[in-house]
Structure 1
Amino acid sequence: MGGVVGAELSAVALALLSALSWGAGDFGGGVAARRLNPYWVALLVHATGFLFFTLAALGRGEELQPSDLPWSLGAGVAGCAGLFFLYRAFMTGQMGLVAPVAGVVGAGLAALVGMGLEGVPAPLQLLGFGFGLVGVWLAARPEGAQGGAQGLGYAFLAGAGFGGYFVLIDRVEGLFWPSALAKLTALALMLLWLWQSRASAGLGFSRTLPLVVLAGLLDAGGNVLFLAAAQAGRLDVAAVISSLYPAFTVLLAWGLLRERLGRGQGLGVLLSLVAVALIAGG
């Protein structure tokens, strides 16, 4: 019994670190996207992640499991689609509505699949899921964001992509090679799209590159921490806690860029912390 509880607490801690890493990576990527074409930022983030995971797998001497190949490729397609549709949704100018919709849909989809595969979690954890989803919505949604229908379709597709990534990458046995293959797949798809669209990178490429590389490393760290959390415990627990990353992005923007933290966003951060406590305590 103690071993099961220890594994669940370990999964919660890893998922929380994943949320922190993803949140910091999104903050860096968001700042970089103000200077460069966001699709180029996504491409460079995928390239950095692929290089990091490949070197880590070789350095660790990890063997590639053939059974991981289809799951890794599928996860790469899903993750790339999620990021692509998220940026398409952002282009509608409703970031305040798009980001929380994508986050909640992704976490909700993975949580439902996790409960279907592993059974319904403890009542306190279910309550924590609810607090977490509401917290993500409030933390990512700026005060006064308008809620029109434009872009919501892309936001749902983005959330479905992220949720698909959570579910598919959870099926692998390895750690670094599956993540490297997923990033390579996403990188190839982004290269194909940028080649067809002839989109330019934008100004300030050399000055912004170090920030993009840092964002890519943080994104990669979030990926591997999520995978470790899902392998150590339940998929739904790992997915919901990892999806709290917008709260950390908001806090970084407030602390480093002095962006105003709205009342709803502050409440969202607080609810996210309550969610972590409830899920860990359950």
Structure 2
Amino acid sequence: MGVMLALASAVCYGLADVAGGLLSRRWSFGRVALVGQLGGLAVMLAVAPFVPAPAVSSTALGWGALSGVGTGVGMVLLYRGMAHGAMSVVVPVSAVGGTALPVLAGVLLLGEQPSRLAWVGVAAAVPALWLVSRTGGRAGPNAVAGAMDGLGASVGIAVQYFPLALAAAGAGWWPLVAGRVTATLTVLPVALRSASAGSPPQHRFRVLAGAAGSGVLAAAALTCYQLATRQQLVVVAVVLSSLYPVIPVLLGVTVLRERLTRWQRAGLLAAAAAVVLLTVS
């Protein structure tokens, strides 16, 4: 069950990224991100009271809040890196780093010991994320800036994942609520500084609803991930949840009829192998 929850997290995050990316072409990314976080917060506030939470502690809420800071920082740096025109650099760097850092933390800080088969799966997943995320285009003159943003985003993603796994199960979904609050506060200054990027008035409601929906998907992704960590090693849950870059690629092939590069095909095969290995380990 933990494996399925982690994969569900990856699917939700992949869909949220696609929706957020498309909407950011019609409106400023800062405001899309802010509305998304508010949408996720609203849903979490509506659902959390109905989830059993016998032992809500300040420690659990603190871990959730720290996770939300990571969400906000990771999102801002990822979008800024892509705005530099260095998508082929920032996306794979952030994906690989955001996976590798929580894996190392799980092993070094939590003392987790994945099986040999699981380690092979982890070893397959890291290059898979790099290959699938590569667009094949040239990074351009801003490659260095994009790489730095990618590294920063990877730290944010790692901070998003690892602390949330430390929140006690007795706190229910309130750590997720705390995370949505701090993520919103982290994104807010960027949203206030960014100018509205021309969403036509007759489509404004659609854009707002879509942005809120992407935030709900992202919140669902973190919920599935947190539940997965309670049934599976953090190392395994992080790797499977981090396979979300596969989803935009698959949607591009099936919906937009895009052609895969040979590197992306290799990445998809490696990702499939990683899922199988981590599932049977």
- 2:61 is matched with 69
- 2:70 is matched with 78
Q: Distance in 1 between matches of 2:250 and 2:194?
A: 35
* Identity between Structure 1 and Structure 2 (%): 31
- Note the alpha carbon deviations across 1:180-203, whole angstroms, 9 max, x for none: 1101111122223333x2532531
- Note the alpha carbon deviations across 1:183-230, whole angstroms, 9 max, x for none: 1111122223333x2532531332322322221221111110011111
Retained in 1: the 8 A contact 2:132–2:246? yes
- Residues 119 and 190 (structure 1 numbering): CA distance in 2 closer, same or farther, change over 3 Å? closer
| Pair 1:44 & 2:68 matched | no
Report the CA distance between 1:74 and its aligned residue: 1.1
Q: Distance in 2 between matches of 1:201 and 1:48?
A: 20
Q: Distance in 1 between matches of 2:138 and 2:57?
A: 46
Retained in 1: the 8 A contact 2:26–2:197? no
Q: Distance in 2 between matches of 1:90 and 1:146?
A: 10
- 1:156 is matched with 151
237-246 vs 203-212, which moves further = 203-212
| 3-state SS of paired residue (2:135) | coil
Report the CA distance between 1:144 and its aligned residue: 3.7
- 1:193 is matched with 190
Identify the match of residue 14 of structure 1 among 5, 12, 22. Answer: 5
- Residues 175 and 267 (structure 1 numbering): CA distance in 2 closer, same or farther, change over 3 Å? farther
Report the CA distance between 1:17 and its aligned residue: 0.9
Tell me the matched-pair count.
272
Report the CA distance between 1:51 and its aligned residue: 0.7
- Note the alpha carbon deviations across 1:31-67, whole angstroms, 9 max, x for none: 1111111111111111111111111112335453332
Structure 1 unaligned runs (5+)?
Answer: 1-9
Partner amino acid, structure 2, of 1:236: V
Q: Distance in 1 between matches of 2:262 and 2:205?
A: 38
Structure 2 unaligned runs (5+)?
Answer: none
| Pair 1:27 & 2:27 matched | no
- 2:178 is matched with 181
Q: Distance in 2 between matches of 1:14 and 1:22?
A: 12
| Pair 1:101 & 2:93 matched | yes
Partner amino acid, structure 2, of 1:213: A
TM-score after normalising by structure 2: 0.91
RMSD: 1.7
Q: Distance in 2 between matches of 1:194 and 1:23?
A: 22
- 1:216 is matched with 215
